[in-house]
Structure formats: structure tokens, C-alpha cells
Amino acid sequence: MIAIHGHEGERVAVLGLGRSGLSAARSLRAGGAIPVLWDDQPAAREQAEEDGFQIRDLTRAGAFEDVTLLVTSPGIPHLYPAPNPVIAAAWAAGVPVDNDIGLFFRALGQGAWDALDTPPRVVAVTGSNGKSTTSALIHHVLERAGRPAQLAGNIGRGVLDIEAPGEAGVIVLELSSYQTELARALTPDIAVFTNLTPDHLDRHGGHGGYFAAKRRLFAEGGPDRAVIGVDENEGRFLANQLSTAPSDDRVIRVSSGAKLSGPGWQVFARKGFLSEWRKGRQVGAIDLRTIRGLPGAHNHQNACAAYAACRALGLGPRQIQSGFESYAGLPHRSQIVAECGGVTFVNDSKATNVDSALKALLAFDRIRWICGGLQKEGGLAGLAPGLAHVSKAYVIGREAAGFALGLSGVEAEICTDMATAVARAVAEAEPGETVLLAPAAASFDQYDNFEKRGEDFVENVHAALG
């Protein structure tokens, strides 16, 4: 745990008692602050009281009279679509609002780590898609190379639950727009921007607000190096804003599919080959086609971003390649869960929208596709470029019949439940095919979350294969 100093003897309010809220409360208490906690859920308040924390109803008048700071959980809206009443009350009282990410970066600047021969470094990864895989891949490569590393933030542990970093330690953070939007301190050594596609638009007041939340990590953080995916206009704009000249190698441009050129620092993947160019010449290359844990162009983009971050940390190309080759993938994200009779079974339950499902479809050639669930706005037309890869679709979910109607030109069987879909796909799959769970829909019609859906797929695959 990282103790938060600077608030000794002060009352600091904490709103929202999920993982990040309770972690922040413990860190504040360890640093000498007096946390006062609130959550709308009685069960969460009761648990906090059992842990010895003081509960205060932050919705009542005068709740902020003796409070010097409010720490809020990332899921609580503070501006759009409307400010949470507690946050609005803190504004009215002139009480600063922060989150656990802001506390972490402030603590890092106040620690004794600058006395180390090799101070710890922080790599922060944000973007719409791929940030979990990119963060986990950086962490895995570092560990394989013998570098002490910890993974936290929006993945793994809460950022304040990690151990205080030691000599030459690296902290890899996955940061969502909810986290970067509010943090009062953002000072990573290396910042990574994977890509941008529409998401959380109601929370950020539109696409521009969403990009602005991501951009804060770079514009306000002032990283020593920035790794920027430039396959969208927002990435190209950001890279240009951060560069002072064409040869400025503080910015590493990354692409999946486009050959990048110029005197600066570029990492790109084309036709399955990763290339690193610097000062107009190639200095590294990896054949990604043989790396099973990173299938498809979207994972090749993740690989380029992770490669660039690791190179900025001083690792060599062969060290990074070795880490890539041993990377097994994250659960529920293009995860190979079984192989039998020439058929590969892949769990991509995290593909909860059309964009991510399309990337999964494009990663494999002959697919027995398990899809369906709670369909999101916008329909299924965006899947069209990947449907040529589908031998047959097996549709699950309470709205399976309606979902199947949106799959124009694809043979679709309405299965409704996972057990039926897996059984049918196993029975009909031929050698060389992939049975792929990539739902293109939310899970809440049948499961608590996408993890439970993925676990059900894995269990049924193992049961069907015996």
C-alpha cells in the first residue's frame, strides 16, 4: 500500500466505496488523514464501518464544513450528463475534488524514491481499445526481462494498493477516460495512446469531450516520452501537438497497417511484421504472425504500442520479442482456451460492441462464430467487413432471433444459450476453423458481466471436448 501524506489530521471525504474508494481511504488513513466515507449503498457503508472507518452522509447540508478534500470513485459523474449532488456540494463549498490516480501521482512526487540510484518509472496507457492488452503486455515483457514491475489502475490492483516501488521499478497503469478526466496530478514518465473510437459519450458530453479526457494525460502530464497511435485523426493531432520538429523522438508514432516514414521514431505493423524505424533507418523487426497470444491487426497495434514503450524503457528488440512469444493473452480477450482436432477455440467475451467484435472476426480466417446478447445502439451493419470470414453464426441471448436478422448474408442458427451454441459449433467445426466467442453485444441479458459469459464459454468448451 502507498500511504498518502500531506493531509495529516485533516478530514478527507471519500465518495464511492468500491475498490478505488476503499483503497484511497486506507491510504489516506495510513498517511495520517481522517477519512469520512459515503456510499449510496447501505451494504457498502456497513462494510466500511466494520473496517473502522467513519461514515458521514455527504448529501446533507453542511457535510463539507470541516473537509479539505473530496476523493471520488471514477464511475461517479462529475460534469456530464449532470454532476453528482455530492460533487456539486463540494464545488459550492470550495473543496477540491480528486481521485485515486491523482493521489497516486502526488504521492510519487513526495516519496523518498528520488534518493534511489535508479528511481522508479511510470508507464500510463490510455485509449478506447487495446489498453488492457497493451498494459498487460508491457508488464509481461518487463517481468520476462527481469525488470521489477507492477500492473495497476483500471486492470489488476488499485493503484494505491501496490507496493512502494524500489530500485529501477516500473509501474504500468491502465487508465480509463473516467480516471484521466479528473485526476489533479498526471505525471507519467511514458504515456501511451492506443486509439480512439466513440465510447462513454454521455459521460464526456460528446466525442470531443471524450478525446479531451484522454488528452489530459499528455497535455497536462508532460511525459518524457509519448507513444501515440496515429491511425485516427485524434492520434495524428496529438502527435503533432507534442512534437517540436519532424525529428523529435520524444514522440513515438505507432500504426497498424500503415508504413510510417520520416526522421523521427516510428513503430508500425504491416502484413504481420512489426518494424521499428529511427532517424530514417530500420533498427528492429519482429514477425508477429507466429505469436499466438497476439492474433489479428488490432493486437498487432497493441504489440507496436507495447514494443515502443518497452524500447523507451531501454529494452532491446530481442528482449521484447522473447516476451511477446511467451505472452498468453488476457482472459476474455482473444484468449485461446483449447485446441482439438485442428479446431481452435477462442474466448473474446470482452468484444461487447460491434467495433471490437469486427476486429476479432478479421483476426481469423474460417470462423464458427458465437455471438449475441444485449444489442447496443447503432445496429450490426459495422460487422459487414468481417462477415466473409464466418462459416456460420450461433446466436445466443434473449433477443437471439432479432440479432440473427441483423447478420445479412450469414448462415445463423438461433441457439439462445451458451451450452447449445458451443455444442452445435463443436459438432460442425472442421479442421482449420476457429470457434470464436465475440458477442458484439453486452452480457447483461443472461450474465452479470462479460467475464461470467466468457467463463461459461470456456466451461462448455471443455465439457464438450471431454
Residues 6+ apart with CB under 8 A from 184: 96, 98, 102, 106
Return the sign of the alpha-carbon dihedral for residues 39, 41, 42, 46. negative
The strand pairing partners of 413, in sequence order, are: 394
Residue 199: its pLDDT value, please? 74
Q: Establish whether 131 is an annotated binding residue.
A: yes
Residues spanned by CATH 3.40.50.720 within the chain?
A: 11-98
- Looking only at the bridges linking them, the beta strands covering 343-347 and 335-340 are antiparallel
Residue 112: its pLDDT value, please? 65
Q: Establish whether 132 is an annotated binding residue.
A: yes
Q: Residue 45 CB: number of other CB atoms within 10 A?
A: 18
Residues 6+ apart with CB under 8 A from 241: 218, 219
Question: How far is 251 from 223, CA to CA, in rounded Å?
Answer: 10
Residues spanned by CATH 3.90.190.20 within the chain?
A: 335-465
The CATH number of domain 104-325, selected from 2.170.190.11, 3.40.1190.10, 3.30.559.30, 3.50.50.60: 3.40.1190.10
Residue 381 one-letter amino acid: A
Q: Half-sphere exposure (CA, 13 Å, Cβ side) for 315?
A: 27
Residue the block writes with cell 442458427: 413
Residue 109: its pLDDT value, please? 73
Residues spanned by CATH 3.40.1190.10 within the chain?
A: 104-325
pLDDT tens-digit profile of 119-176? Answer: 889 999 999 888 999 999 999 999 999 999 999 998 878 999 999 888 789 999 999 9
Q: Establish whether 59 is an annotated binding residue.
A: no
Question: How far is 310 from 135, CA to CA, in rounded Å?
Answer: 11
End-to-end CA, the chain: 43
Q: Establish whether 20 is an annotated binding residue.
A: no
Q: Establish whether 130 is an annotated binding residue.
A: yes
Cell, residue 165 = 516501488
Residue spans of the chain under pLDDT 70? 111-114
| Spatial contact of 453 and 443, defined as CB atoms under 8 Å apart | yes
Distances from the Cα of 74 to the Cα of 36, 96, 295, 447, 456, angstroms: 18, 15, 31, 23, 29
If residue 340 lies in a helix (H) or strand (E), which one and from where to where? Answer: strand 335-340
Question: How far is 241 from 253, CA to CA, in rounded Å?
Answer: 12
| Spatial contact of 193 and 126, defined as CB atoms under 8 Å apart | yes
Q: Establish whether 133 is an annotated binding residue.
A: yes
Residue 339: its pLDDT value, please? 94
Judging by beta carbons within 10 Å of its beta carbon (0-12, 13-18, 19+), is residue 148 exposed, middle or buried? Answer: middle
The CATH number of domain 11-98, selected from 3.40.50.720, 3.20.20.70, 3.50.50.60, 3.40.50.300: 3.40.50.720
Residue 304: its pLDDT value, please? 98
Residue 111: its pLDDT value, please? 64
Does domain 335-465 correspond to CATH entry 3.30.43.10? no
In the sheet that holds 34-38, the strands lie side by side as 54-55, 34-38, 11-15, 67-72, 97-98
Residue 175 one-letter amino acid: L
Residue the block writes with cell 514491475: 149
Q: Establish whether 153 is an annotated binding residue.
A: no
Distances from the Cα of 178 to the Cα of 23, 128, 203, 216, angstroms: 17, 12, 8, 11
441 phi, psi to nearest 5 deg:
-160, 160
Q: Half-sphere exposure (CA, 13 Å, Cβ side) for 73?
A: 17
| Spatial contact of 234 and 200, defined as CB atoms under 8 Å apart | no
Cell, residue 114 = 528520488
Residue 272 one-letter amino acid: G
Question: How far is 93 from 75, CA to CA, in rounded Å?
Answer: 22
